[in-house]
Chain A
Amino acid sequence: NAGVMQNPRHLVRRRGQEARLRCSPMKGHSHVYWYRQLPEEGLKFMVYLQKENIIDESGMPKERFSAEFPKEGPSILRIQQVVRGDSAAYFCASSPLASGTEAFFGQGTRLTVV
């Protein structure tokens, strides 16, 4: 049973380009969470998704950021027209239930905007 898989591990984008981050949850997990970690800061919640549904996106910037978790395939975090301030580590976590269990984290995608 593979863990939470994120790819790519490292992503470099020029300002104005689009970044697509992928997260495949653990087998049997239908709940996915995205977090952003800025240098020297803790993990900040961005969005919580179940299959085909966004449950809570209160941590997502209103513009340029979107997330999806389709019926088939990985969850995608999409950042349009990236800016330098988007440079961060983006972690995905999955859990089998909505609550009461720990979330398992992927290795993260380190996005660098140049």
Chain B
Amino acid sequence: EDKVVQSPLSLVVHEGDTVTLNCSYEVTNFRSLLWYKQEKKAPTFLFMLTSSGIEKKSGRLSSILDKKELFSILNITATQTGDSAIYLCAVEGAQKLVFGQGTRLTINP
């Protein structure tokens, strides 16, 4: 059975800290790994990763994929209170996305 596991499930840090969110997966017919941010509404797309070792970057957020070890990390530097959200990792397997349970990130001022 396809499986995506995120850790930690919950993380509380202070504004300005750097955080690393983890996502490991076991999915047949891997096509891509995606990161989403969910703030009480629909998940919004952050990154799509298909190749190992190539870092994707958007502002303070960056992500990288390791297809040999079957995991990805999402880094957020200089965190702000607006980064508080649930971060979802999803892996595209055979025609569908399999989601992890998410990491609830809370940034305290």
Contacts and interface: CB of A to CB of B under 8 A. Distances in A.
Interface in A88-109: 91, 93, 98-108
A40 to B, nearest CB: 8
Contacts, number: 57
Contact of A99 (B42, B92, B100): B92
Given A99-B31, A100-B31, A108 B95 contact: no
Contacts of A59: 96
B22 to A, nearest CB: 14
Question: Chain B interface mostly helix, strand, loop or mixed?
Answer: strand
Interface residues of A, number: 26
Contact of B97 (A45, A100, A108): A45
Interface string B89-109: 010101111111110000000
Nearest to A50: B95
B34 A43 contact: no
Interface residues of B, number: 25
Given A42-B102, A100-B31, A106 B42 contact: yes
Interface string A40-59: 01111100100000011011
B40 to A, nearest CB: 10
B98 A107 contact: no
B88 interface: yes
B42 A108 contact: yes
B88 A43 contact: yes
A33 interface: yes
A35 interface: yes
Contacts of B42: 4, 91, 105-108
Interface of B: 4, 6, 31-32, 34, 36, 41-45, 48, 50, 88, 90, 92, 94-102
11 contacts: A41-B101, A43-B90, A43-B99, A58-B96, A93-B97, A99-B31, A99-B92, A100-B50, A101-B48, A102-B34, A103-B97
Interface of A: 4, 33, 35, 41-45, 48, 55-56, 58-59, 91, 93, 98-108
